[in-house]
Structure 1
Amino acid sequence: MRIAILGAGGVGGYFGARLAAAGSDVTFIARGKHREAMLERGLRIESPLGNLTLKDVKVVGTSAEAGEVDLVFMTVKLWDTDDAAQSLIPLVERGASVVSFQNGVQKDETLRKYLPAASIIGGVSYIAAVIGEPGVIVHSGAMQKLVFGEYDGSRSARVTALCDACQKAGIGAEISDDIERLIWEKFVFLVGLSGMTSAVRKSIGAIRENARTRALLLDVMQEVVAVGKAKGVALRDDFAQDRLAFCDTLPASMISSMYSDLQRGNRLELPWLSGGVASLGEALNVPTPCNRVIADILSPYADGGETAQPTSPAAPR
């Protein structure tokens, strides 16, 4: 397959590199120092599953330079989705399909504002990976999986071809006949992990061991389930409890990428995570007080530029 990776960060960089190493025709669309490093030194993956260095990387600066492609991985941050989707219009008009492996549940709704619904494949990624330094992707843990599928549940030629390419590359891959439900299932956990680690400023281990923060984590995830069910998604009534049990299996030191961004003073995906739950809840008349409070608490940091660390002396006592 001819695949373009729009956003060569942790997710796009990792999976794109694995696909390229296995023989897929991959073009990375990147920018800044990361793009410069990829052009000069290639792309390196550091992973417990085996390191990888691509020395001859196809990398361009814009979608217009990507040429003819069959499929685009959308892996930019959520705030870039509108601009990124508009940049893909010429590629889609020439026959490309688009699969978003971004966070959140509103991503494909945004894509449909600019691109034909038939061009969009639903997708979910499961991986912990970040840009360690320009040109280097650092993968933590053993999980690296992509799940994708048509919104009508069909097993199309394009999702079958993508699954074959992923499996050839050693990537865990599955085709789902209910991709919207899987996107929401990941969202339930992601909102809980991102909101709580960022608001509490602690790892998942500390949160799950404290009775009050553990209960709050469950409440946060239950609100997401309630909103999803109000939108007609077939989530189990006890799915939040299932995700809480899953949290008990995670390394105690695990934090969310949003908490990592908070610590570094980066922009946050908050409006699409806890903030997105609160907005959807308001539109659907579903109460979401816990997510609303988390969104309000973190709002001073949402645009980046500030860290969660104190910046002035404590008041005298």
Structure 2
Amino acid sequence: MNQDQVCRYQVKIGIVGAGAVGGLLGGMLRAAGHDVLFLGRGQHLQAMQQNGLLIKFATSQRKTLRIKGRFSDEVKDLSDRELLLFTVKSTQTKEMMGRLLPHLKAGAIVITLQNGVDNEEILAQALGEERLLSGAAYLSAEIESPGVIEVHSSGLQLIIGYLDGRQSQDLTRLVGLFNQAGVHCRPSAKIMERKWHKLLWNVTFNPLSAATGETIGEILDDAELHQTARRVLKEAVQVAEALQVSVRRDIETVVFQGAEEARGHKTSMLQDREQGKPMEIESICGYFVHQAAQLGLRTPTIHTLYSILLAIDKKRYGQHGNKGAETSEPD
């Protein structure tokens, strides 16, 4: 299949969770001429329905992008979609998949771009691995106000692949689809390894930033917080290696170099805390606590942050709202 065939690939796309990541990627695909339906909720959805979606690029020559399209809160409206980007928070995975499944078109492909490494198992049980891909998005964006997404990263990068590592014509087409839309995308035969490396970045900075209210740069510049972040990463790597995950030897250098490039970034968990939304405590932080307990390992720093964040959510919601539940980072 030549490049012209890849670029001509047209597909009906559904964005399941039109927040910062889903809205941005969906907006880029819509601007490239694709039929995109955005599933959202609340004030953000209302603003998009009234005025469209405005994407502001803080570091790009392309200053703004106004997206006119279909914006809905009805899952049934996704019934004709051939490709779905699954970008809801991990706390919503089971509930959203339960709502979506009865309306999913036969043969539709789902790409999960969620934080963590445990959503894939839930989705694969519902969909089967043959129609599920996972992806890691490397970009920095946030909802500035209802209907407005601000992009802080200079480039938009995406890595996608099937869970079993297979290569296919569909994968080639999907990679071309994103590249044509201005999102630098490449395939991976080891997508879960990529997701693990992203999770190690997430657990290093997300919980700490949410607990302290600090940006990445502020964590790096504070000697005590900087060392705390390094302790978190060491504990997380210990768990990953005990689970037989292949972790690159220079992971600490890679994680902290990446942090230097995202100094002004507010992590997704900090954004959620500031906006009064449930934080992805379990998929980013609790996952390591629970796995360590089963493996007989100690993760005192991660456990402390986990307890603090659960207490914050308990105070806001009256219970551990996302405890036992099944963020692009940078998001």
Post-superposition Cα deviations, 1:193-230, rounded to whole Å, max 9, x if no partner, equal 11222233333333223433222211111222222222
Over 3 Å counting, the alpha-carbon distance change for 1:127 and 1:10 in structure 2 is same
The equivalent of 2:51 in structure 1 is 41
Over 3 Å counting, the alpha-carbon distance change for 1:10 and 1:249 in structure 2 is closer
TM-score, normalising length: structure 1: 0.89
Secondary structure of the corresponding residue to residue 223 of structure 1: helix
The equivalent of 1:83 in structure 2 is 95
What is the identity, as a one-letter code, of the residue corresponding to 2:170?
A: R
Which residue, out of 115, 124, 128, partners 1:103? 115
Secondary structure of the corresponding residue to residue 180 of structure 1: helix
Over 3 Å counting, the alpha-carbon distance change for 1:61 and 1:206 in structure 2 is closer
Secondary structure of the corresponding residue to residue 139 of structure 2: strand
Secondary structure of the corresponding residue to residue 141 of structure 1: coil
Post-superposition Cα deviations, 1:166-196, rounded to whole Å, max 9, x if no partner, equal 1111111111111011000010011111122
Which residue, out of 193, 205, 210, partners 1:181? 193
Q: Partners in 1 of 2:314 and 2:111 — Cα distance?
A: 26
Contact 1:267 1:304 in 2 (8 A): no
Q: Partners in 1 of 2:265 and 2:13 — Cα distance?
A: 32
Over 3 Å counting, the alpha-carbon distance change for 1:137 and 1:250 in structure 2 is closer
Task: Kindly state the Cα deviation for residue 158 of structure 1 after the two structures are TM-superposed.
Answer: 2.0
Over 3 Å counting, the alpha-carbon distance change for 1:206 and 1:53 in structure 2 is closer
Task: Kindly state the Cα deviation for residue 72 of structure 1 after the two structures are TM-superposed.
Answer: 0.8
Number of residue pairs matched? 304
TM-score, normalising length: structure 2: 0.85
Contact 1:10 1:130 in 2 (8 A): yes
Runs of 4+ in 1 over 4 A off after TM superposition: none
Over 3 Å counting, the alpha-carbon distance change for 1:303 and 1:112 in structure 2 is farther
Q: Partners in 2 of 1:127 and 1:249 — Cα distance?
A: 11
Post-superposition Cα deviations, 1:278-315, rounded to whole Å, max 9, x if no partner, equal 11222233322211111012212225738xxxxxxxxx
Matched, 1:240 2:252: yes
The equivalent of 1:163 in structure 2 is 175
Q: Partners in 2 of 1:88 and 1:156 — Cα distance?
A: 25
Over 3 Å counting, the alpha-carbon distance change for 1:293 and 1:61 in structure 2 is same
Over 3 Å counting, the alpha-carbon distance change for 1:279 and 1:52 in structure 2 is same
Secondary structure of the corresponding residue to residue 104 of structure 1: coil
Structure 1 vs Structure 2: percent identity of aligned residues? 29
Which residue, out of 146, 164, 171, partners 1:152? 164
Over 3 Å counting, the alpha-carbon distance change for 1:88 and 1:196 in structure 2 is same
Q: Partners in 2 of 1:54 and 1:200 — Cα distance?
A: 35
Q: Partners in 2 of 1:201 and 1:36 — Cα distance?
A: 28
Q: Partners in 2 of 1:226 and 1:300 — Cα distance?
A: 26
The equivalent of 1:309 in structure 2 is none
The equivalent of 1:10 in structure 2 is 20
What is the identity, as a one-letter code, of the residue corresponding to 1:67?
A: S
The equivalent of 2:72 in structure 1 is 60
Secondary structure of the corresponding residue to residue 273 of structure 1: helix
Contact 1:2 1:69 in 2 (8 A): yes
Over 3 Å counting, the alpha-carbon distance change for 1:138 and 1:206 in structure 2 is closer
Over 3 Å counting, the alpha-carbon distance change for 1:282 and 1:26 in structure 2 is same
Contact 1:180 1:233 in 2 (8 A): no
What is the identity, as a one-letter code, of the residue corresponding to 1:259?
A: L
**Which one scores higher on RCO, CA 8 angstroms, separation ≥ 6?**
2
Q: Partners in 1 of 2:154 and 2:314 — Cα distance?
A: 32
The equivalent of 1:216 in structure 2 is 228
Q: CA RMSD in A?
A: 2.0
Q: Partners in 1 of 2:208 and 2:100 — Cα distance?
A: 35
Q: Partners in 1 of 2:106 and 2:262 — Cα distance?
A: 43
Q: Partners in 2 of 1:255 and 1:44 — Cα distance?
A: 20
The equivalent of 2:287 in structure 1 is 276
Secondary structure of the corresponding residue to residue 132 of structure 1: strand
Q: Partners in 1 of 2:52 and 2:212 — Cα distance?
A: 38
**Which 5+ residue runs of structure 2 have no aligned equivalent?**
1-10, 318-331
Task: Kindly state the Cα deviation for residue 27 of structure 1 after the two structures are TM-superposed.
Answer: 1.2
Secondary structure of the corresponding residue to residue 294 of structure 2: helix
Contact 2:16 2:40 in 1 (8 A): yes
